[in-house]
Structure 1
């Protein structure tokens, strides 16, 4: 029955979802935002995040009608400040427990890790609620209900099972996670649902699991099976050959795992898209792992080019300083003797070095965001087909705009999603 429904959806006329490519404008936003973050000590990132989201949504259209993102940078800043007001006292209490009760120091560290994990899951859920309530199509907003703490506690239990099963339970965890989120998701008064199955995800991904986790288990088992001491005593050449062979196997496994990751991400995206429902609306995706792999390779390639470029710039600057200033140590000592504030020159050098370092970090951040946001968004959107959009014609506005507290918590814990 399910296969017949899937076939019927595939044969139904698909609605069109498109993305207007404007990578140059997105890159301009990234460069300007990076420079403004530098002069505002990082606080401009809230407005940059908002600009990037607005750019991507405004260039995404369903049946010719564009989406809108109505969030504001000020909301993210206020959410971040409120999150700090909540988190700092909690961190302080946990720190004081470990300081005053030395025998409980290990316990306090464990408590901090558990707290950060649970709070992080709560923050991610609430952040999604905020982002949905700021996303609008045809004048109607998306919105979300559900308890963030219920989500966090259940996610914690599921992820323990994922770890204990070495990842085999992940498809069913992913199914629960997406089902929890989608059954609390609405577009106006149209309810969301998720029909993806864990078993289906498992069958599609088991080959990648065998290649990565299974390969690692095989390597560890092989290591344990070798009697390296005995091999070393029998023949000098044998342990060298065995070590070389084992090292080659480790390298091959590592490369295979790196290649497998984008294929897994694409597989998960397809599975998710095919399972999402919004009223009578369904989606399908033709995204392939090779597309993600090429994006990752382009990211690495541009990062390497940047690294080479910055090394050349650094070498040229060092040469200019050496030729123009002579012995830097002598100059600093002479300057220190002549100046009333002998540390000024040292401070200037440190400031210049810090600025150079920040520029390097900013450039790598621009590359990562361009490919990790714009290009992945483009690849995902262009792979989608949507069916049943006509059923949303009579949707009525429901739900209220959520607070940005979740975004602030996620940002303060450095786990903020996009």
Structure 2
């Protein structure tokens, strides 16, 4: 009887895991599609045109590969997710592009893992800052390219401040913490190069709010990843 019970628990755990690795990417794509369809600048709407099933494949393969490699595949998985979400985002008739590769982050990721015990985990803020710089530095819009100058210390102060706000308000300050994070991201972000906005035409796409609801339920993001 005990063996049967253990087997059922393992099976249930696997089913939950499979459901999560399917629903999380579905929710992420749905939320991204909905939020961008409700965003505009200069009267021109953003849109997301990636197919959910393609992101599910990336998510399932990346999750399994990361598990079997004890997390070492994660930089490649993380970059593939970011590339998919960025390259399928549009502003009117012009697409955002991403030309980064996971291998560029593998070395810093491995070094961060090795230094984690000696830095009480604080080294991860420097890795996250480096990842932000890399992701934005390899994101372009037409002939213009983004550039982030964020470093570890400011990121550490931001997250420590947000954590303190959430603790002192029992979580009620979450909207303010989110606004602080967005303002922080843009403070260190620039777009460099020629930007021919007159050539961009309106090309709005309809989107369902279902993904937004799923994203809220599962607490996953779907807007522009600001880091």
Structures share fold, TM-score greater than 0.5:
yes
**SS of the residue 1:386 aligns to:** strand
Larger Rg: 1
- Written as runs of structure 1 = structure 2, the 5 A alignment for 1:238-277 is 253=118, 256-257=120-121, 259-277=122-140
**SS of the residue 1:118 aligns to:** helix
Find the counterpart in structure 2 of residue 182 from structure 1. 86
Q: CA deviation at 1:109?
A: 4.4
Find the counterpart in structure 2 of residue 281 from structure 1. 144
Is the 2:129–2:151 Cα contact (8 Å) retained in structure 1? yes
- Pick from 160, 163, 166 the counterpart of residue 67 of structure 2: 163
Give the TM-score, by structure 2 length.
Answer: 0.84
Q: In structure 1, list runs of 5 or more residues that go unmatched.
A: 1-101, 216-252, 307-362
Q: CA deviation at 1:134?
A: 1.3
Find the counterpart in structure 2 of residue 129 from structure 1. 33
Give the TM-score, by structure 1 length.
Answer: 0.48
**SS of the residue 1:161 aligns to:** helix
Q: CA deviation at 1:136?
A: 0.8
Query: Residues 152 and 411 (structure 1 numbering): CA distance in 2 closer, same or farther, change over 3 Å?
Result: same
The 1-side partners of 2:111 and 2:16 are apart by 37
- Higher alpha-carbon deviation: 283-292 or 199-208: 199-208
Residue 191 (1) aligns with residue 55 (2): no
Is the 1:190–1:392 Cα contact (8 Å) retained in structure 2? no
Is the 1:134–1:141 Cα contact (8 Å) retained in structure 2? yes
**SS of the residue 1:191 aligns to:** strand
**SS of the residue 2:199 aligns to:** coil
How many residues were matched structurally? Answer: 219
Query: Residues 103 and 132 (structure 1 numbering): CA distance in 2 closer, same or farther, change over 3 Å?
Result: same
Is the 2:21–2:59 Cα contact (8 Å) retained in structure 1? no
Greater helix proportion: 1
Q: In structure 2, list runs of 5 or more residues that go unmatched.
A: none
Is the 1:189–1:395 Cα contact (8 Å) retained in structure 2? yes
- Pick from 173, 186, 197 the counterpart of residue 367 of structure 1: 173
Is the 2:76–2:102 Cα contact (8 Å) retained in structure 1? yes
